[in-house]
C-alpha cells in the first residue's frame, strides 16, 4: 500500500515550523496531529470501535477535516452528509449505515434526536475532545480497512453507500501529488464543500500527502477567493467557481502571478471558459475526471497540453477502457461506456452486494459515463448513460424530486434549454426557477402542447426523457422548497414546473 495519509501527517508534525492552515491564527501540522489525537481519544471514550460509522452533518468548518483524520487514526468509518439535507432526507443514511454516533450542528439536535439516532452537537464533542489527551496509540492499518462511506444517488432508487478503503485514498493521493507536482511549498486555496470526494479527499489528501499548507474558506465567495489568490499557489474548483470569477473585473494576470495551478472537476468545463480563463490570467485550467466510487480517474497533464473539452489521460496505476454494449473493448476513437479498474476503485456498495456485482464486468467498474479517447490518448466525456442533471458541480436526480414532491417529473434537455412534461397534460408555462436555461429550442419529437422559455441560464444538463405533453404545478412541495442546497435545480421561488 502507498504511504498512508496519517503517516505523512506524523512526519510533518515532527517539524514544528510546518503550517497546515494559514490565517490570523495559523495551525501547524503538529497542532493538527494533537487535535486528531484528542478527537480520536474522545471517540474511543464515547464507545466507538474500529468499523463503527461516525455520521458528520455540519456546516463546513476546519473541524470536519480533523474529524476525518481522527477517524482514520481510530479505524472508525467517516460518513459525511450534506449539511443542507433535511432530517427526512438524512433518515435514510441513519437507517442504512446505522452510525454509532452522529455529530450535527446544535440547531439540528432536537430534530435528529427525534429520529431515535444517537446524536451529539459538534460543539459539545469539541469541548469533550479538548479535555482528552493528545497522545493516541494508532493501530496498524491494513490496505483494505474501510476508511469512509460516501452516499451517492442513482437515477432510480435511494442513495447508495460507497465504501472507500485506506488504499483507495492513499493510492489516489500518491498518484495526484506526483502528477500535479505538489510539494510542501504549495499553498492550496480550499473553497470546496467537504462532504464529497473533491473537497474532502482530493484537496485535503493532496495537501497532507505533500506536506503543503492550506487557505481554508468555509464557502465559495468571489471576494474572499480573489483576496486569497496572491497568497496561494493551487486552487481546486468546479466550473461555476471559474465562471463567477471571470465575471469579476478584479481577476487579472497580475492577481494570479503567484499561482501555479488551477484545477477543475465535478462537472464539465466549457471550452469557452477554458479559453477566457487563459486569456485573462495566463493560466490554462487543468481539467480532471473522477467520481465517488473511483476518486480521480484521469487528468490533463501538469506539464504538456491541457486540452479544453477533455479530461486528460488515466492516472498512473489506473486503467481506463471504452466498452461497447456487450462489454467488449472498443478501438480508439469510438464512443462507448467508460470502465475503470485499479487501486482507486471502491470496495463496493454498503450492504448492496447484488448492486456491487451488477456494476462490475470482468473486474472493470462500469462508471455509467460515455466517452472516447482521441489519437493522443485524451479522454472526452460525452454524457451519462442514465438521465442526470448536473448543476454547480453536484448531481440532481429526477427520482429525488419525484419522491419529495409526490408527483411525476420528467425533464427534457437539448443543448441549452429545458422543459418539463407530464403525460396527459395541457401545456407548460414559464416560471421562476433557481436554475435556468439559455434559449428555447423546438423538440425533435414535439409534444402535443409545450412551451420553452428564453430568459434563463444553466450549467450543464444531461439528456433526459421526452414524453408527449406537460402541465404546470403552481406551487412546489414544501419538502423541496425547504431544501436550500446549491444542487437543487428545482427549488421554488415562484412557479415550478412539475406534473401533478
- Are 293 and 366 in contact by the 8 Å Cβ rule? The answer is no
Q: For 373-389, what is each residue's pLDDT tens digit?
A: 999 999 999 887 764 45
Nearest CA among 82, 68, 89 for reference residue 169? 68
Q: What is the pLDDT of residue 431?
A: 37
Residue percentage of the chain with pLDDT more than 90: 73
Q: What is the pLDDT of residue 131?
A: 98
- Are 432 and 355 in contact by the 8 Å Cβ rule? The answer is no
Nearest CA among 391, 399, 497 for reference residue 451? 497
Q: What is the pLDDT of residue 34?
A: 98
Q: What is the pLDDT of residue 135?
A: 97
Confidence band, pLDDT 50/70/90 cuts, at residue 58: very high
**Residue whose C-alpha cell reads 481554508 in the numeric block:** 216
Q: For 92-114, what is each residue's pLDDT tens digit?
A: 999 999 999 999 999 999 999 99
**String of b and e for 433-445 (b: at least 16 CB within 10 Å)?**
bebebeebbeeee
What is the Cα 277 distance to its own chain's centre?
A: 23
Nearest CA among 67, 46, 63, 59 for reference residue 119? 46
What is the Cα 100 distance to its own chain's centre?
A: 24
Residue length, the chain?
Answer: 500
DSSP structural state of residue 182:
-
- Are 205 and 295 in contact by the 8 Å Cβ rule? The answer is no
Q: What is the pLDDT of residue 151?
A: 96
Nearest CA among 201, 401, 175 for reference residue 291? 201
Q: What is the pLDDT of residue 386?
A: 66
Q: What is the pLDDT of residue 470?
A: 35
Q: For 175-196, what is each residue's pLDDT tens digit?
A: 999 999 999 999 999 999 999 9
- Number of helical (H) and strand (E) elements in the chain, helices listed first: 15, 25
Neighbours of 387 (CB within 10 A): 18
* Angle, CA of 197, 485 and 267, to the nearest 5°: 45
Average pLDDT, the chain: 82
Q: For 340-386, what is each residue's pLDDT tens digit?
A: 999 999 999 999 999 999 999 999 999 999 999 999 999 999 887 76
Residue 11 or 456, more confident: 11
Q: What is the pLDDT of residue 262?
A: 98
Residue 385 or 458, more confident: 385
User: Which domains does the chain carry?
Assistant: 5-382 (3.40.50.12780), 387-500 (no CATH)
Q: What is the pLDDT of residue 1?
A: 67
Q: What is the pLDDT of residue 384?
A: 77
Span between the terminal Cα atoms of the chain, in Å: 53
Which strands, in side-by-side order, build the sheet including 160-165? 119-121, 101-104, 53-57, 77-80, 146-152, 160-165, 348-349
Residue 208 or 446, more confident: 208
Contacts of 247 (CB under 8 A, 6+ apart): none
Nearest CA among 451, 487, 450 for reference residue 469? 450
Q: What is the pLDDT of residue 154?
A: 53
Confidence band, pLDDT 50/70/90 cuts, at residue 489: very low
Residue 281 or 500, more confident: 281
Residue 143 or 487, more confident: 143
- Flag whether pLDDT at 472 surpasses 60: no
> What mean pLDDT comes out for the span 119-127?
98
Q: What is the pLDDT of residue 3?
A: 85
Q: What is the pLDDT of residue 402?
A: 38
Residue 254 or 267, more confident: 254
**Residue whose C-alpha cell reads 490570467 in the numeric block:** 281
> Alpha-carbon torsion 266, 272, 278, 281, what sign?
negative
DSSP structural state of residue 305:
-
> DSSP states of 50-93 as a string?
TT-EEEEE--S-HHHHHHHHHHHHHTPEEEE--TTS-HHHHHHH
- Are 422 and 470 in contact by the 8 Å Cβ rule? The answer is yes
Q: What is the pLDDT of residue 22?
A: 96
Residue 463 or 222, more confident: 222
Confidence band, pLDDT 50/70/90 cuts, at residue 53: very high
> What mean pLDDT comes out for the span 324-329?
90
Label residue 319 exposed, middle or buried (CB < 10 Å: 0-12, 13-18, 19+).
middle
Q: What is the pLDDT of residue 385?
A: 76
Q: What is the pLDDT of residue 469?
A: 36
- Are 146 and 164 in contact by the 8 Å Cβ rule? The answer is yes
Q: What is the pLDDT of residue 236?
A: 97
Distance CA 259, CA 245 (A): 15
Q: What is the pLDDT of residue 435?
A: 33
Q: What is the pLDDT of residue 395?
A: 40
Q: Dihedral (C-alpha) 20, 22, 23, 29: value to the nearest 10 degrees?
A: 20
pTM of the predicted model, to two decimals? 0.79
Amino acid at each position: 500500500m502507498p504511504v498512508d495519509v496519517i503517516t505523512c501527517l506524523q512526519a510533518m508534525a515532527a517539524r514544528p515550523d510546518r503550517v497546515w492552515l494559514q490565517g490570523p491564527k495559523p495551525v501547524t501540522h503538529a497542532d493538527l496531529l494533537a487535535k486528531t489525537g484528542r478527537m480520536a481519544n474522545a471517540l474511543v471514550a464515547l464507545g466507538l470501535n474500529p468499523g463503527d460509522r461516525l455520521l458528520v452533518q455540519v456546516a463546513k468548518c476546519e473541524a470536519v477535516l480533523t474529524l476525518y483524520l481522527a477517524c482514520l487514526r481510530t479505524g472508525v468509518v467517516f460518513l459525511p452528509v450534506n449539511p443542507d439535507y433535511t432530517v427526512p432526507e438524512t433518515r435514510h443514511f441513519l437507517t442504512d449505515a446505522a452510525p454509532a454516533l452522529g455529530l450535527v450542528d446544535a440547531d439540528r439536535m432536537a430534530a435528529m434526536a427525534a429520529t431515535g439516532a444517537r446524536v451529539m452537537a459538534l460543539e459539545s464533542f469539541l469541548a469533550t475532545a479538548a479535555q482528552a489527551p493528545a497522545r493516541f496509540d494508532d493501530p496498524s492499518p491494513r490496505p483494505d480497512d474501510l476508511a469512509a462511506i460516501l452516499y451517492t444517488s442513482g437515477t432510480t432508487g435511494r442513495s447508495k453507500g460507497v465504501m472507500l478503503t485506506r488504499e483507495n485514498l492513499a493510492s489516489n493521493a500518491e498518484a495526484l501529488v506526483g502528477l500535479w507536482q505538489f510539494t510542501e511549498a504549495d499553498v492550496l486555496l480550499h473553497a470546496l464543500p467537504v462532504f464529497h470526494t473533491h473537497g474532502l479527499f482530493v484537496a485535503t489528501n493532496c495537501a497532507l500527502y505533500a506536506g503543503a499548507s492550506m487557505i481554508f474558506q468555509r464557502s465559495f465567495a468571489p471576494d474572499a477567493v480573489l483576496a486569497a489568490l496572491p497568497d496561494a499557489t493551487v486552487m481546486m474548483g468546479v466550473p461555476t467557481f471559474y465562471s463567477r470569477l471571470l465575471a469579476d473585473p478584479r481577476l487579472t494576470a497580475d492577481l494570479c502571478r503567484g499561482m501555479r495551478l488551477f484545477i477543475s472537476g465535478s462537472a464539465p468545463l466549457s471550452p469557452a471558459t477554458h479559453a477566457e480563463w487563459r486569456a485573462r490570467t495566463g493560466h490554462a485550467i487543468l481539467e480532471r475526471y473522477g467520481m465517488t466510487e473511483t476518486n480521480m480517474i484521469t487528468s490533463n497533464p501538469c506539464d504538456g497540453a491541457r486540452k479544453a473539452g477533455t479530461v486528460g489521460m488515466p492516472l498512473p496505476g489506473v486503467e481506463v477502457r471504452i466498452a461497447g454494449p456487450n462489454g467488449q473493448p472498443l478501438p480508439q476513437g469510438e464512443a462507448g461506456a467508460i470502465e475503470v479498474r485499479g487501486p482507486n476503485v471502491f470496495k463496493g456498495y454498503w450492504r448492496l452486494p447484488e448492486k456491487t456485482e451488477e456494476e462490475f464486468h470482468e473486474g472493470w467498474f462500469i462508471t455509467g459515463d460515455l466517452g472516447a479517447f482521441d489519437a493522443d490518448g485524451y479522454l472526452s466525456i460525452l454524457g451519462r448513460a442514465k438521465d442526470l442533471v448536473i448543476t454547480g458541480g453536484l448531481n440532481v436526480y429526477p427520482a429525488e424530486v419525484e419522491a419529495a414532491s409526490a408527483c411525476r417529473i420528467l425533464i427534457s434537455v437539448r443543448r441549452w434549454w429545458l422543459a418539463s412534461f407530464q403525460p396527459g397534460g395541457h401545456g407548460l408555462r414559464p416560471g421562476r426557477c433557481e436554475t435556468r436555461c439559455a434559449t428555447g429550442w423546438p423538440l425533435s419529437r414535439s409534444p402535443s402542447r409545450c412551451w420553452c422559455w428564453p430568459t434563463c441560464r444553466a450549467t450543464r444538463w444531461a439528456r433526459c426523457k421526452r414524453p408527449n405533453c406537460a402541465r404546470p404545478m403552481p406551487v412546489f412541495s414544501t419538502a423541496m422548497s425547504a431544501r436550500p442546497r446549491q444542487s437543487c435545480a428545482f427549488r421554488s421561488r415562484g412557479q415550478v414546473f412539475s406534473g401533478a
